[in-house]
A and B are shown apart, each in its own frame.
Chain A
Amino acid sequence: MIRDTTLGSKLWAAAIWFLVGFFVINLFAMIATVVTSSFATRWLGTWLPVAFTTRWYSSAWSEFQLWDILMVTFQVIAAVVIISGTLGITAAYALARRDFPGKRLLVLLFLLPLLIPPITFGIPLATVLYQTGLAGTFWGVVAANLVPTVPFVILVMIPFIEQIDPKIEAAARVFGASTFKLFIHVLLPLLLPGMLAALLLVLVRTIAMFELTFLVAGPTSTTLVVALYYAVFAAGVRAVQSIDAMAVIYMVTTLVWLIIALRFVNPTQIVTRAKQQPAH
């Protein structure tokens, strides 16, 4: 908290803010390029396009069959959120409330898929899924996406459950609540904020999860981000603006959920996971 007022420290501060500004400006300029291009009639060798149009959105919509892709994307996300929520929260509850031999090993097992990049474990996983015939199907994509999201929910929820005083549960039992009633009337309301945060983060991460979906998706189970990859990969086949229109649709889908998520979580949580769980 010590602020220096010497010239040297002012120059140092200025240099740092310059770097931050440079990064942020380039980031926004990059996003603005995509958005501008998606509305451009023709844009070659000038600062701004010749004129603006919205027709690329309708052409992208039909060319890339975006309706189907969006449907698949949302179904995959819904399945991933529901399953990882169920598996993750129950496991987090057990890990937060009980101490048993092998617990540390189990936590490590749940930590690994978050530390190892998806492409590393995705290739053997895809191999297994191809052998079992799941790859290429809807459930294959869901299964692959669950590998990092179940541990993610567990690790976000453990500290959240730990800070709920077990005495509250004991008190409910003393007043005669059954296990089911305990869950519905006591635990669920207490866990809701944490669950909401964890599941929103899962949602945002799943929309953007490229590698795992790419490795196991088939023609009928492609999500938006993978479709975007293929479109950019085959650039030249379609108009650049059409691809950019698709990219904007992808961005909007992601950002809507990001904005919703940020009402409930701190931005740093998206990266640092359980580290900055706010204490209620």
Chain B
Amino acid sequence: MDALAPAAPVEHGPSLRQRLAARGFDAVTLLVIPAAIFSLLLFVYPFAFGFVLSFEPKAGGDWLANYRRFFSDPFLYDTIANTLRLAIPVTLLNLLLAVPIAFRVRLMRRQRLLTTILVLPITLGTVLVAEGLLNYLGPQGWFNRTLITFGLISQPLKLVHNYWGVFASLVITGFPFTFLLTLSYVTGIDPALEQAAATLGASAWQRFRHVYLPLLMPGFAITFCLSFVQAFSVFPSAVLLGEPAGVTRVISIAAATAAFEEYDYSMASAIAMIMGFVQLGIVLAVLASRGLFYRGPASGAKG
């Protein structure tokens, strides 16, 4: 009788390994670990370290001394205004130019040639653009010469080593970036939606206002944020093309000076944190307003 009795069922739940696998943790998931460790070590840790360091002033004093110094010294706090004075107009201009151009280019058959040309300044980078513009926009450069030849001006315009030099370099590198992002959003919208609106009696402006704009608003908000953040961190062109001790003394110059000329890493970290917070603040403000708009597929529901 005993011998025939079935073995008492042992309460074997699923093994730990099975339970983990059920939640998505198995050998394949572990492949993410090297990159995650790397990111913690070289991105999260430095950020945290810099954050803490910014509260440990080199010169001593209480934990807020760096921040108090930044916000009491006009030479330091003016850098925020200087940077915003460059970044906001440039970003708005780039976006305002990019939108109508993207709408036109969307209809083009051979977009690739134009996108390739526009990707040039992005790949060449800010240093080369700054170096090129230094000659090109200079008093003896081709730009001023052309204007004088056409009789538009009599004296060369001063376009380098001031605000406008940096502005021009931010347009040359920033516009393609803004445009290509905008174009990818604009082409993501089903053209049949515009056709439908047209057959329903909407004029070109009404189609833009009531169909494209609400669908594109989230994309425009993201484009604005990314373009703004790029412009806000302007550095090499502000030094090379601008007036790094004056109107184009931007916040990254202040941070780099603190780090590499004064060797005050604590202050440099504080400035980097302030720079991050200003960027974050503007991005959050823009993205929060994004909540007011439609979010979802822009392709005309499911096919």
Q: Per the CB under 8 Å rule, do A and B touch in the complex?
A: yes
Closest to B134 in A: A232
Please determine whether B115 and A267 come into contact, CB atoms closer than 8 angstroms. yes
Specify which of B50, B114, B240 is in contact with A127 (CB 8 Å cutoff): B50
Closest to B54 in A: A124
Please determine whether A208 and B125 come into contact, CB atoms closer than 8 angstroms. yes
Please determine whether A20 and B240 come into contact, CB atoms closer than 8 angstroms. no
Tell me, in angstroms, the Cα distance from A158 to B44 when the chains sit together. Answer: 22
Please determine whether A9 and B204 come into contact, CB atoms closer than 8 angstroms. yes
The answer, yes or no, to whether A30 is at the interface (CB within 8 Å) is yes
Please determine whether B265 and A113 come into contact, CB atoms closer than 8 angstroms. no
Please determine whether B126 and A127 come into contact, CB atoms closer than 8 angstroms. no
Tell me, in angstroms, the Cα distance from A101 to B105 when the chains sit together. Answer: 42
B window 63-102: CB within 8 A of A: 97, 100-101
B window 230-275: CB within 8 A of A: 230, 232-233, 235-236, 239-240, 252, 255-256, 259, 265, 268-269, 271-272, 275
Query: Most chain-A Cβ atoms within 10 A of its Cβ — which of B23, B32, B45, B145?
Result: B32
Tell me, in angstroms, the Cα distance from A258 to B123 when the chains sit together. Answer: 8
Please determine whether A267 and B180 come into contact, CB atoms closer than 8 angstroms. yes
Beta-carbon contacts of B1-43 to A below 8 Å, as 1s and 0s?
0000000000000000000000111101111101110110011
Q: A119-B235, A124-B49 are in contact. Are A94 and B28 (CB under 8 A)?
A: yes
- The interface residues of chain B lying within 8 Å CB-to-CB of A247 are 128, 131-132
* A151 CB to nearest chain B CB (Å): 7
Closest to A227 in B: B127
B window 108-145: CB within 8 A of A: 112, 114-136, 140-143, 145
The answer, yes or no, to whether A93 is at the interface (CB within 8 Å) is yes
The answer, yes or no, to whether A163 is at the interface (CB within 8 Å) is no
Closest to A261 in B: B123
Beta-carbon contacts of A214-247 to B below 8 Å, as 1s and 0s?
1100000000010011001101000010011001
- Number of chain A interface residues as a range: 35 or more
The answer, yes or no, to whether B195 is at the interface (CB within 8 Å) is yes
- The interface residues of chain A lying within 8 Å CB-to-CB of B135 are 30, 33-34, 37, 240, 244
Beta-carbon contacts of A88-101 to B below 8 Å, as 1s and 0s?
10110111011111
- The interface residues of chain B lying within 8 Å CB-to-CB of A20 are 101, 105, 114
The answer, yes or no, to whether B286 is at the interface (CB within 8 Å) is no
Tell me, in angstroms, the Cα distance from A210 to B126 when the chains sit together. Answer: 8
The answer, yes or no, to whether B183 is at the interface (CB within 8 Å) is yes
* A117 CB to nearest chain B CB (Å): 3
Which residue numbers of A lie inside 8 Å of B, CB to CB? 1-4, 9, 12-13, 16-17, 19-20, 23-24, 26-27, 29-34, 37, 44-45, 47, 86-88, 90-91, 93-95, 97-101, 103, 106, 109-110, 112-113, 115-121, 123-128, 130, 143-144, 146-147, 150-151, 154, 204, 208-211, 214-215, 225, 228-229, 232-233, 235, 240, 243-244, 247, 250-251, 254-255, 258, 262, 266-268, 270-272, 275-276
Q: Could you pull out 7 A-B pairs where Cβ atoms are within 8 angstroms?
A: A20-B101, A29-B136, A30-B135, A34-B128, A118-B233, A232-B131, A272-B181
